């Protein structure tokens, strides 16, 4: 595993494989070398600002350096001091910093002139319970649905969409996601889905926003993620309808035509004002794959960029959790299992793990049976205790509907039979007991 580091981040025991200047201009070995003492660190600082290290060839191997927190490069006052955070946040911050460094190193190798910047990581706190946020989230969801309808019509009729309207809608989604991501995540599972294209756009935006919140991106980056989610597949509106409703396997020619939707989407973005380059990148790369087997560019590994890699994961997840012309929707729980199966080949394994942390062991919208024999639906996550979500009980142990559904937070260890704490016994298939959760809440 290679990482590009500022000279101030180097430690004795690291193996240097690349400098930021020609080796012949320095006294160091061409094939790389192990940093064995402070004198070598001082000498490196005379010649270089950045070097690339190989953790696999460093003392102790990559596992020895697992907890090495890569500090952001930039002005000293911009550096994130993990030690100032509570112990329960320090491990998470270390992971997020290492993840940012992993992708920024790939970017710097690709563009040596790119100025280094310190990653801004925000730890968000829920400021509203899901029961309170659901009302505001519903208004946001409905307004965004109307906007997406207008965007699709503009794309189909080849008229110019307005970025101001998109920015306004995304801003309200960002507000709701910051307050409590579970409300919009729940709505994405519960709302009626009149059109796959429309629902996929909204779902992609919601999940990218929740994913970005989980990874600690600041508000301006969340806005880019939400904007891109709405626009990932807008180019499909310029494809023949019979291709979009095709139920069998595509012929090679049909698949080639389908892949052109990426360029159509980029063309539509090009008609809009002040669209950030990161949005273009996400739209361009959401069908790229970790092993280089994707399209249209065949990018591989971290060269997809962290936003592009996130978009590829979310696009796949929201597709397989939706009813499509050729496939019935899978539950979020099943979809996560598939992402794990495909990680390390099609999707970045570290990001898949982080996405699973975002969605939860029991994703919002999942039907579960509790150890009390009640039937419930997951309505929120407990980020410190993933196996103890917040649920809404719908049916009692006799499988009869409760007169009034109850919100139960399993992290409080509510007593069940024999005074044992109630936990989740098993996940139930979608539609079990004829349950439509919308009847109970929406």
In this predicted model, what pLDDT tens digit does every residue of 103-126 receive, in sequence order? 876 554 444 444 445 567 888 888
Per the CB < 8 A criterion, the answer to whether 232 and 317 are in contact is no
pLDDT over 90 at 267, yes or no: yes
CA pair distance 387, 142, nearest whole angstrom:
31
b (16+ CB within 10 A) / e for 38-59: eebbeebeeebebbbbbbebbe
Q: Which of 144-153, 222-231, 433-442 has the highest mean pLDDT?
A: 222-231
Where is pLDDT greater, at 105 or 182? 182
CA pair distance 377, 332, nearest whole angstrom:
13
Instruction: Copy the structure tokens of residue 96.
Output: 């997020």
- Quick check: helix, strand or coil at residue 402? strand
In this predicted model, what pLDDT tens digit does every residue of 66-96 receive, in sequence order? 545 444 333 333 445 666 667 767 778 888 8
CA pair distance 288, 286, nearest whole angstrom:
6
pLDDT over 80 at 249, yes or no: no
What are the residue boundaries of the structural domains of the chain, listed by start?
2-110, 130-359, 367-439
pLDDT over 90 at 178, yes or no: yes
CA pair distance 35, 47, nearest whole angstrom:
15
Least confident of 200-204, 331-335, 410-414: 331-335
pLDDT over 50 at 194, yes or no: yes
Residue 72 pLDDT? 39
pLDDT over 80 at 305, yes or no: yes
Residue 119 pLDDT? 65
Query: Average pLDDT over the chain, rounded to whole?
Result: 84
CATH superfamily for domain 130-359: Hypothetical protein af1432 (1.10.3210.10)
Q: What is the mean pLDDT of residues 134-143?
A: 92
Residue 70 pLDDT? 44
CA-based nearest residue to 234, from 345, 127, 148, 144: 148
Q: What is the mean pLDDT of residues 304-325?
A: 90
Least confident of 3-17, 97-111, 123-137: 97-111
Q: What is the mean pLDDT of residues 229-253?
A: 89
In this predicted model, what pLDDT tens digit does every residue of 270-287 receive, in sequence order? 999 999 999 999 999 999
- CB-based contacts of 310: which residues, under 8 Å, 6+ apart? 208, 211, 212, 215, 225, 282, 351, 355
CA pair distance 146, 152, nearest whole angstrom:
10
Residue 115 pLDDT? 47
> What's the whole-model pTM score?
0.75
Residue 171 pLDDT? 96
């Amino acid at each position: 595993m290679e990482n590009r580091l500022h000279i101030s981040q180097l430690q004795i025991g690291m193996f240097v494989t690349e400098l930021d200047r020609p080796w012949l201009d320095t006294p160091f070995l061409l094939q790389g070398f192990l940093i064995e003492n402070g004198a070598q660190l001082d000498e490196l600082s005379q010649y270089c600002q950045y070097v690339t290290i190989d953790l696999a060839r460093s003392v102790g191997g990559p596992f020895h350096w697992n907890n090495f927190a890569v500090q952001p490069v930039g002005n000293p006052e911009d550096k994130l001091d993990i030690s100032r955070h509570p112990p329960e946040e320090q491990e998470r911050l270390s992971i997020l910093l290492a993840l940012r460094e992993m992708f920024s190193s790939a970017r710097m190798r690709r563009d040596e002139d790119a100025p280094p910047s310190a990653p801004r990581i925000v730890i968000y706190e829920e400021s509203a319970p899901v029961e309170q946020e659901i009302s505001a989230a519903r208004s946001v969801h409905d307004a965004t649905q109307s906007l997406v309808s207008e965007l699709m019509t503009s794309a189909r009729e080849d008229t110019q969409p307005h970025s101001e309207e998109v920015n306004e809608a995304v801003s309200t989604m960002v507000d709701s996601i910051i307050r409590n991501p579970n409300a919009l995540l729940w709505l994405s599972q519960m709302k009626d889905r009149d059109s796959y294209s429309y629902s996929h756009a909204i779902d992609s935006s919601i999940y990218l926003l929740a994913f970005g919140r989980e990874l600690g991106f600041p508000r301006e980056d969340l806005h880019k993620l939400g904007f891109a989610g709405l626009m990932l597949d807008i180019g499909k509106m310029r494809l023949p309808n019979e291709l979009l409703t095709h139920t069998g396997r595509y012929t090679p020619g049909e698949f080639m035509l389908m892949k052109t939707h990426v360029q159509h989407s980029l063309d539509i973005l090009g008609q809009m004002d002040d669209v950030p380059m990161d949005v273009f990148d996400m739209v361009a790369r959401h069908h790229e794959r970790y092993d280089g087997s994707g399209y249209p560019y065949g990018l591989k590994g971290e060269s997809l960029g962290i936003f592009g890699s996130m978009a590829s994961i979310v696009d796949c997840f929201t597709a397989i959790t939706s009813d499509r012309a050729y496939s019935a929707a899978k539950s979020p729980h099943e979809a996560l299992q598939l992402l794990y199966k495909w990680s390390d080949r099609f999707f970045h394994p570290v990001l898949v793990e982080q996405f699973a942390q975002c969605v939860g062991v029991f994703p919002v919208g999942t039907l579960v049976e509790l150890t009390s024999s009640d039937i419930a639906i997951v309505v929120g996550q407990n980020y410190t205790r993933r196996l103890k979500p917040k649920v809404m009980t719908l049916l009692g142990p006799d499988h009869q509907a409760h007169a009034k559904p109850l919100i139960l937070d399993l992290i409080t260890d509510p007593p069940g039979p024999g005074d044992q704490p109630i936990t989740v016994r098993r996940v139930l298939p979608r539609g079990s007991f004829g349950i439509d959760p919308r009847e109970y809440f929406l």
